[in-house]
């Protein structure tokens, strides 16, 4: 057990950001990793030119890196937004325009997990109306994901850093997962369990793991406080990942941490080089 027994991937939207997007897959590969994930890379548009999608696919292929997770369009992320699918008007429309684009790109690179960030509450808008819109859009996204053999992920964030995001406890995200699966009958909506966000919410991480491992489709980690690499904070991440494995989770663990003031390539000293390649 321990870190060497996990399947890690590198989030190229928070690590290696000192490099242009198309150079990051090769940098991850040079650090020993063969699996990566991404937030939606084109924050200004849900429908980038096909040439840009093709260039990203080529960069992934040339580096020998497998994309194992991709966000749908989520607005200005990084930035003030936390998703688009529950935000009425233009942002919801942009999310819908992105659904098939993201699904088709995922299919082209063999990515089987698509993350749909819920979006912030909008002042003056009925939360129930936002939730109804969210369910409509998540059903569309789940069907598109299913079409390409992928799962749909629903993520909990944390209240201190995302005060307007309504899914800030594991049960809130699980409720949405269950509603989407009930609406589609597909069963491909899953929980994205991020140990950093859950710890920032003050949740009992061992309890969350036991309660929801069976509904978990992807895991992300960073240490707390600071959202740095494992070992920079006080979270018992190695133990928690062992607990996940014991509870039956055998999927990917995304490294979604900030490298601090050093180059990203130097932030992996906690993980033996022999444990970095996908298995």
What count of residues does the chain have?
A: 279
User: Of 91, 155, 203, 243, which one is the catalytic site residue?
Assistant: 155
What's the rounded Cα separation, in Å, for the pair 144 and 137? 11
Q: By C-alpha distance, which of 223, 186, 191 is closest to 208?
A: 191
The catalytic residue among 91, 203, 243, 256 is 256
Do 119 and 84 meet the contact criterion of CB atoms below 8 Å apart?
yes
155 among known catalytic residues: yes
CA distances to 65, 66, 114, 155, 184 from 110, in Å = 11, 8, 11, 21, 23
Tell whether the torsion through CA atoms of 153, 159, 163 and 169 is positive or negative. positive
Among the residues of the chain, which ranges form H helices? Answer: 24-30, 50-63, 90-109, 127-147, 170-184, 195-200, 205-212, 237-246
37 is catalytic: no
Distance in angstroms (rounded) separating the CA atoms of residues 72 and 70:
7
The CA distance from 77 to 39, in Å, is 8
Helices within 218-258 (DSSP H only)? 237-246
Closest CA to 19 of 104, 10, 116, 174: 10
* Residues belonging to the active site: 155, 256
């Amino acid at each position: 057990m321990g870190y060497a027994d996990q399947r890690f991937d590198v989030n190229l939207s928070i690590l290696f950001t000192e490099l242009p997007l198309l150079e990051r897959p090769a940098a991850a590969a040079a650090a020993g990793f063969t699996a990566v994930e991404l937030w939606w890379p084109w924050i200004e548009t849900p429908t980038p030119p096909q040439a840009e999608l093709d260039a990203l696919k080529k960069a992934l292929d040339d580096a020998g890196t497998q994309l194992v997770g991709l966000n749908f369009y989520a607005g200005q992320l990084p930035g003030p937004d936390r998703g688009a699918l529950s935000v009425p008007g233009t942002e919801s429309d942009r999310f819908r325009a992105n659904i098939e684009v993201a699904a088709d790109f995922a299919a082209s690179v063999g990515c089987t997990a698509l993350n749909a960030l819920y979006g912030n509450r909008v002042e003056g808008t009925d939360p129930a109306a936002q939730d109804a819109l969210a369910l409509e859009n998540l059903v569309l996204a789940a069907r598109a994901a299913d079409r390409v053999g992928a799962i749909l992920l629903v993520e909990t964030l944390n209240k201190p850093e995302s005060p307007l995001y309504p899914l800030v406890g594991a049960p809130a995200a699980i409720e949405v997962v269950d509603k989407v699966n009930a609406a589609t009958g597909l069963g491909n909506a899953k929980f994205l369990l991020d140990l950093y966000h859950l710890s920032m919410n003050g949740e009992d991480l061992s309890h969350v793991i036991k309660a929801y491992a069976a509904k978990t489709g992807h895991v992300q980690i960073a240490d707390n406080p600071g959202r740095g690499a494992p070992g920079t904070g006080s979270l018992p991440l190695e133990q928690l990942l062992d607990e996940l494995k014991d509870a039956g989770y055998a999927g990917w663990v995304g490294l979604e941490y900030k490298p601090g003031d050093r180059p990203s390539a130097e932030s992996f000293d906690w993980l033996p080089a022999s444990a970095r390649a996908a298995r």
